[in-house]
């Protein structure tokens, strides 16, 4: 994932709303969102196994209300080409029965085997669910360094933006899309309407002014291309926009719109009722 907007316990009808763009090289072999044959309780896209036999997912939910999403931390100077694929972490959490904090306690010692990432995770079937954010990198001055101790941050109710920096890093595309997301949430009555308004809000191709470009270590031309919410270059761009809305009665709606370098390809809609859901709010 490259841009994730999240509403956590901030809407009267939806404990969780997620709106996200996934940017990737068009040549990377990927299956769109689907119920996995080998883990039928997981609804997620899937990267097909690479030459090392590794695969994973960038975002997904489970039938019991588990949610996880991951973004890369953009730091080309410290990228390890032999690192394990970060999508493994998201898939592992969706398969697990551990709480978000318990999962990190068990697996956190492995997280520096991966290049930089941000993880969002929750389990809405918990009696008192939490949404946690964790990065395996920490900002020290102007440099990113591996995090030595993996302590997740519990997020308070609110609206959050996450891209390829740290949580709520004030990149223009994050700030502008968070504002648009907040407006859409304010107009949402909790009846799974206006989905197209959410999806269209993520198709903004406005690039940041030069003075506001992030400085992440890539070339000016690449920094500029990556500064829009929706990215389109000949070889790399936004391949999907996804909307997840989970209502306090356990009903869910998941929509995924797919793109290639030239056009929109398809839209998928998944609706249903979560199992063992305890997150009702008065």
pLDDT > 70? residue 20: yes
| pLDDT at residue number 141 | 78
**279 domain-assigned:** no
**120 domain-assigned:** yes
Per-position DSSP letters for 51-95, written without gaps between them: TTS--B-SEEEETTSEEEEEEE---GGG--TTSBPTHHHHHHHHH
**282 domain-assigned:** no
Query: What are 198-223's pLDDT values in tens digits?
Result: 999 999 999 999 999 999 999 999 99
Nearest to 241 by CA among 221, 218, 269: 269
Q: What burial letters (b/e) apply to 28-59, b meaning 16+ CB within 10 Å?
A: eebebbeebeeeeebbbbbbeeeeeeebbbbb
Q: How far apart are CA 279 and CA 187, in angstroms?
A: 22
**217 domain-assigned:** yes
pLDDT-based confidence at 281, cuts 50/70/90?
Answer: very low
pLDDT > 80? residue 49: no
**202 domain-assigned:** yes
**280 domain-assigned:** no
pLDDT-based confidence at 282, cuts 50/70/90?
Answer: very low
| Across 131-149, average pLDDT | 90
Mean pLDDT value across the chain: 94
| CATH code of the domain covering residue 78 | 3.60.60.10
Confidence (pTM): 0.95
| pLDDT at residue number 37 | 96
| pLDDT at residue number 278 | 63
pLDDT > 50? residue 267: yes
Domain that holds residue 83: 3-273
Q: How far apart are CA 171 and CA 158, in angstroms?
A: 18
Query: What are 57-103's pLDDT values in tens digits?
Result: 999 999 999 999 999 999 998 899 999 999 999 999 999 999 999 99
Identify whether the C-beta of residue 241 lies closer than 8 Å to the C-beta of residue 257.
Answer: yes
pLDDT > 80? residue 265: yes
| Across 46-51, average pLDDT | 77
Q: How far apart are CA 137 and CA 111, in angstroms?
A: 10
Identify whether the C-beta of residue 172 lies closer than 8 Å to the C-beta of residue 223.
Answer: no
| Beta strands 236-246; 143-146: pairing state | unpaired
Identify whether the C-beta of residue 274 lies closer than 8 Å to the C-beta of residue 124.
Answer: yes
Between the CA atoms of 105, 106, 112 and 118, what dihedral angle is there, to the nearest 10 degrees?
Answer: -60
| Across 255-265, average pLDDT | 96
Q: What burial letters (b/e) apply to 78-104, b meaning 16+ CB within 10 Å?
A: eeeeeebbbbbbbbbbbebebbbbebb
pLDDT-based confidence at 130, cuts 50/70/90?
Answer: very high
pLDDT > 70? residue 243: yes
Domain count for the chain, please give it.
Answer: 1
**278 domain-assigned:** no
Q: End-to-end distance of the chain based on CA atoms, in angstroms?
A: 33
pLDDT-based confidence at 53, cuts 50/70/90?
Answer: low
**168 domain-assigned:** yes
Query: What are 148-181's pLDDT values in tens digits?
Result: 999 999 999 999 999 999 999 999 999 999 999 9
Q: How far apart are CA 272 and CA 63, in angstroms?
A: 9
Higher pLDDT, 41 or 76: 41
| Low-confidence winner among 10-19, 51-60, 132-141 (lowest mean pLDDT) | 51-60
Identify whether the C-beta of residue 244 lies closer than 8 Å to the C-beta of residue 256.
Answer: no
| pLDDT at residue number 142 | 75
């Amino acid at each position: 994932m490259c841009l994730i907007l999240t509403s956590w316990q901030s809407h009267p009808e939806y404990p969780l709303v997620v709106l996200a763009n996934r940017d990737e090289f068009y040549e990377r072999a990927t299956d769109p969102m689907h119920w996995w044959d080998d883990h039928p309780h997981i609804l997620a896209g899937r990267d097909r196994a690479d030459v090392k036999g590794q695969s994973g997912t960038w975002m997904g939910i489970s039938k019991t209300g588990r949610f996880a999403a991951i973004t890369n931390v953009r730091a080309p100077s410290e990228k390890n080409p032999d690192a394990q694929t970060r999508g493994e972490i998201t898939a592992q959490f969706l398969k697990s029965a551990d709480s978000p904090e318990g999962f990190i306690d068990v697996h956190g010692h492995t997280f520096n085997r991966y290049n930089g990432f941000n993880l969002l995770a929750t389990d809405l079937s918990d009696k008192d669910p939490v949404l946690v954010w964790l990065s395996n990198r920490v900002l020290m001055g102007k440099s990113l360094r591996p995090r030595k101790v993996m302590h997740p941050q519990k997020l308070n109710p609110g609206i959050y933006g996450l891209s390829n920096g740290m949580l709520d890093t004030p990149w223009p595309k994050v700030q502008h899309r968070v504002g648009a997301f907040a407006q859409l949430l304010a107009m949402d009555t909790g009846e799974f309407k206006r989905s197209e308004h959410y999806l269209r809000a993520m198709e903004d191709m406005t690039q940041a002014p030069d003075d506001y470009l992030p400085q992440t270590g890539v070339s000016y031309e690449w920094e500029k291309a990556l500064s829009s919410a929706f990215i389109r270059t000949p070889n790399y761009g936004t391949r999907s926009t996804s909307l997840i809305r989970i209502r306090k009665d356990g009903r869910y709606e998941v929509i995924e719109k797919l793109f290639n370098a030239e056009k929109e390809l398809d839209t998928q809609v998944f609706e249903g009722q979560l199992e063992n859901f305890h997150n009702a709010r008065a």
